[in-house]
Structures are given as structure tokens and as C-alpha cells.
Amino acid sequence: MAAATLGLRRGNDPCGPVAQFLEQAGVGLAGWVHTACLNRCRQRRRHRRQLADWANLLDHAALAQSSPGYAASRRRDVRRGQPALSPVEWVESEAAGSQLLHLQLGFPLNLYAPAEFVTLYWYCDYLLLARRGRWGSAPEEAVADVDRAACQAMVVLCQGVAAAAGACMRRPPSPFNTAEDVFEQRFGCMRSVARPEALTLGHYRASQAAVEAGAVSAAALLLGAATRFGALVGAAAGLLAGTAVDLAPAQERHLAGLRRIATQNGLAAQLLMKGTAGEAAPTLVPTWDFSVAREHSTCMFFPILGLKRAE
């Protein structure tokens, strides 16, 4: 399976670097299958531990790719008519997938506070970008692009909610943990593998400098979120109604759930934006509901923003 995915032949040397890499790649794929059979808590832990395995496999991939027999083992991917991924690119993509699932599985396990949502969706967006062009089929690529747009919309929405009703999105005081410590606790394991490059708190602060400095108003952020969710609804509806890609039933349910979540989040963003238009304090308290995501898909972790009147 690994040889077919990578477009490689084992070659004449059963002990050569290419053959050794393919053998280790098979072990990595078997680990994926084993992980999928576990409950979500153990899946999350397993994906984190597998990063060390992907780091080891990355060394095998680099050695195989630089070996003299690599060119002779290379073949064209007949299915797509394009060269298959190189070993290093494939390992990077699979490692990003493990990192992505490790982060996403924390949502249904209620491991994250709402104050962490911005950094989490920001990092998920980066990991989806790292896998762009490497999913292997047009439907998977199309769904991944929609998921990435959803991550970007969630980042803006969470920023807008934090600016409009900061109390519910503010991290509780932690006198013994700095911001660097908190970031390290969530994303420190990403450094276990060299590719994709692990992001730091400095990267996050640089990307959010304007928002952190207060240069963007809450109304502008919420309007941007509503606009992004509106575009997301159109993208999901277009894939569901079009014939450009042949979607599997699970992908159709995934997109249908994402369209429902995006529709409600867009309306909630507009409603909260109207509540912040005046000088009076907002009377709406935001809540986050993941039940719709769990109902439609096992690999979607986007909540619906609910608004309750403050008592």
C-alpha cells in the first residue's frame, strides 16, 4: 500500500534504503489503522506518541530519497497522471495529519477552554495548509479546503467574540504559568518531528498583531466572521450540488453539517455585532455547542456559537 501511494518499487536490493523506507512506512500505516480502532482519548494520546515514529521515518525518507537507487525505483502515478509524492513530502503530510488529529480530538474531550480556541484553530489552519495538494484525491482536497476555510472563519469569530464579550473568552488567572508555558503545553509536542516546522508563540503573536493591539474593532471582526461563514456556506453547498467531484457519503454528511454550522455561526456573528453597535454593555452571553459537529461527522470539530441573554 505504501509503495503504491508513493509511486515506488522496492527495486532489486531488498536491504537498500528504499526497501527499508517502504518497510517502515508500512509500519507507520499499520499504526494509523490501530489508532483508528481506539477510543478518542487513546487516539489523541497515540497520535502524539506517533510523532516520534514519523520523525524516525523522516530520516529513512531522506536517506531513501538521496540514495542512488531512488530514481530507478520511481514510477509515475497512473491514476492521476502526475508524479507521486516524494518520500519526504509524504512523511511530512502524514505527520501533519497526526498533529492535526491530536489537536482536533481535544475538542470532543472538552480539554480546551474557549480562550484557547483562537490559537487552536490558527494552528489547525497551518496544518491543513501543510497537507494541501497531498490528500491523494480531488474529493479529499475539496473537503480539506472547506475545512481550512472553516478554521480561518473560526479564528475571526473567536477574536470577535473575545472583543465583544471578553469575560467568557478570557483565560482564568494562572500565576504560575506564563503565556509561553501555556503555548508549550498545547503545542510543544509538535517539535518532535522536523517537518512540518513547528510554530511558536512568536509566530502566533506576529499573525495576530493588529487584533492583539486593539486596532480592529469587535464589530469589524464579527462582520468579517459573518462574511467568511457566508462564503463557507456557498462553498459547501456548491460541492454538495455540483458534479465536479464525486463525494463519498461520509464527505456529503460532513459538508452538510459544516454548512449548517456555518449558517448558524454567521447569523450569531451578525446578532452579536448588532448587540455591540451601541455604547451599552452587551447583553448576550456566548456559548459553544459541538453536538451538531458530532452528529454529522467523526472528523469535524467546529462548534455552533450560541447566544444567551445575560441574567
The Cβ of residue 124 has, within 10 Å, a number of other Cβ atoms equal to 24
The residue ranking higher by pLDDT, 295 or 103, is 103
Rounded CA-CA distance 122/292 in Å is 21
Query: What residue has cell string 500500500?
Result: 1
How far apart CA 101 and CA 32 sit, in angstroms, is 11
The distance of Cα 43 from the centroid of its chain, to the nearest Å, equals 16
Over pLDDT 70: what percentage of the chain? 84
Asked if 270 contacts 159 with a C-beta cutoff of 8 angstroms, the reply is no
Over the chain, what is the mean pLDDT? Answer: 85
Between CA 185 and CA 163 the distance in angstroms is 25
Q: Which residue has the cell 467568557?
A: 168
How much is the pTM?
0.90
pLDDT tens-digit series, residues 46-67: 999 999 999 999 999 999 888 8
Assign 85 a pLDDT band (cuts: 50, 70, 90): confident
H-only helix segments in 8-137: 17-36, 40-65, 70-73, 87-104, 117-130
Helix, coil or strand: residue 249? helix
Residue 148 has pLDDT above 70, yes or no: yes
Q: What angle do CA 264, 268, 274 make, to 5 degrees?
A: 150
Write phi, then psi, for 27 (nearest 5 degrees): -65, -40
- Please name the amino acid found at residue 308: K
Question: Residue 116 — φ and ψ, nearest 5°?
Answer: -90, -10
Contact status, residue 5 vs residue 32, Cβ threshold 8 Å: no
Length of the chain counted residue by residue: 311
The 10s digit of each residue's pLDDT in 184-197 is 999 999 999 999 99
What residues form DSSP beta bridges with 82? 77
Higher pLDDT, 4 or 153: 153
